[in-house]
Amino acid sequence: MEFNFLGRAFKGDKVIWCIFIALCIVSLLEVFSATSTIAYRQQNHWAPILRHAAFLLIGFGLVMFLQRIRSKYFSLLLLGIPVSVVLLIITMFTGQDVNGAQRWLGIGAFTIQPSEFAKISAIGFVAFFLSKMKTENEDWIFKTLIIGVAILCLLIAPENLSTACLLFGVCFMLMVIGQVSLKKLGSIALIGVVSATILFGSLTLLPKEYLPGRFATWKNRIERHSGEEKAMMNPDGTIAYKITDENYQVSHAKIAIANGGIIGLPGSGTERDFLPQAYSDFIFAIILEEMGLLGGLFVLLLYVALMFRCGVLASKCEKKFPRYLILGSALILTIQALANMAVAVNLIPVTGQPLPLVSRGGTSTIITCAYFGIILACSSRLNDSDHEDVDESIANVDFETFEKDAE
């Protein structure tokens, strides 16, 4: 009886559920530890972790709701594209500046991050149009995909370049998986390479005082990552590493990793009190300090397992729309996680990407839970005869008429 109740309550793939719950547990433990500096300034020391737990609880409720929805109804994510465009434009002019970036939009007592809504909307947008692509409408579908994704990325890029690159990369990979013409994709890849070269060249050659807005920040991050480590000579002739304002974050992340060793220092880490954004951008360094190399590998393997399992689930989908939804959701979560970990171990410059579901957050935590809900919903009806590609009201749209009107 208990097993049947759990089976009815928790639908979808059980492996995905285990990964989701494991990440939630890691998140609660590490955010509780990493928010010590925030708790110290609060009248109620439990406030930071209670806030995070509340968002996780909301996200869990969202997963429980979404897992029961038929995948065809996720075509409504298309409506998120115009909404995201409007929110991103408003944020550009009236958004709240946090840590030098204007990425948040205040709505009453709450703040939201429109780029997170744009990401999940873009995944649904690309999955929908790829599922409708045929030989006769490939040109029109391709143009629609590129224009839609490009608009979102261009609106996100000025204040959050890493998110724009992440979103475009995932959408591009979905198009590759969706068997869009390699010639068309090659032209887009060439444009991307040329644009990246021009951007990198501008950041490298132009002085900071001539760079607009966030360009100077990007230049600083690249220089810090590629610059030589600062060292100084001690009176006894030994060489000491010098921590400066430029390498402060990276230096303390390295110290945290070194402190952790193999098995870590559970609940006894010290770098959480020194490392900026220890509960967000650099939470993986705190995980390595408190859970050690073994704990870090465990968290890494959770995301790798998520990607592999979603690949297996997608291969079992007879319909294209849920297949692309599963793959798109898994790709954006996994690549973002790898980017966060790469920053923590100093493989790439600081990007500002949180560790999905683990880092402290509001909008990002809830949207991450929505990705899991979508994956579980699509996996729960792999063999269901009612498992349609998209909602019939949208599926019956005459694309040939749209194509003629566009011409």
pLDDT digit string, tens, across residues 334-391: 999 999 999 888 888 878 788 999 998 888 899 999 999 999 999 887 645 444 444 4
Q: Are 247 and 224 in contact (CB under 8 A)?
A: yes
- The answer to whether 320 and 130 have CB atoms below 8 angstroms apart is yes
With a CB cutoff of 8 Å and minimum separation 6, the contacts of 364 are 113, 116, 354, 356
pLDDT of residue 402 exceeding 70? no
**What is the C-alpha to C-alpha distance for residues 189 and 210, in angstroms, rounded to an integer?**
29
Q: Tell me the H-state helices in 266-319.
A: 283-316
- CA 278 remoteness from chain centre: 17
Token pair 């607009």 is found at 212
The conformation of residue 106, written as its DSSP 8-state character, comes to E
What percentage of residues in the chain have a pLDDT greater than 70?
77
Sequential DSSP letters for 380-395: TTTT-TT--SS-HHHH
User: What pLDDT shows up at residue 127?
Assistant: 94
- For 11, the token pair is 């639908």
- Cβ-contact 279, 252 below 8 angstroms: no
pLDDT at 404: 46
In a 13 Å sphere around the CA of 322, the CA atoms on its Cβ side amount to: 34
Output the pLDDT for position 334. Answer: 96
- The DSSP letter of residue 38 is H
Between 222 and 326, the higher pLDDT residue: 326
DSSP line for 126-148: HHHHHHT--GGGHHHHHHHHHHH
Stronger pLDDT, 55 or 347, i.e. the higher one: 55
Structure tokens at 42: 């609060």
Confidence of residue 150 (pLDDT cuts 50, 70, 90): very high
- DSSP structural state of residue 181: -
Kindly report the length of the chain. Answer: 407
Could you give the angle at which helices 161-177 and 320-344 cross, rounded to 10 degrees? 140
Is 26 a residue whose pLDDT tops 90?
yes
CA-based R_g, the chain, Å: 22
Residue 303: closest CA among 262, 332, 261: 332
**SS percent in the chain: helix, strand, coil, step 5:** 70, 5, 25
Find the helix or strand (DSSP H, E) in which 96 lies. Answer: strand 96-98
Closest CA to 71 of 29, 31, 119, 123: 123
Span 61-87, pLDDT tens digits: 999 999 989 988 999 999 999 999 999
Q: Which two tokens stand for residue 387?
A: 């498992």
pLDDT of the residue at 407: 42
Burial, 167: exposed, middle or buried (Cβ in 10 Å; 0-12, 13-18, 19+)?
A: buried
pLDDT at position 363: 86
Q: What is the pLDDT of residue 395?
A: 44
Confidence band (pLDDT; 50, 70, 90) for 45? confident
Q: Is there a contact between 70 and 387 (Cβ–Cβ < 8 Å)?
A: yes
- C-alpha–C-alpha distance, residues 314 and 322, integer Å: 8
Cβ 259 vs Cβ 335: under 8 Å: no
Average pLDDT, the chain: 82
d(CA 344, CA 62): 30
Query: Phi and psi at residue 241, in whole multiples of 5°?
Result: -80, 135
Query: Of 158 and 107, which is predicted with more confidence?
Result: 158
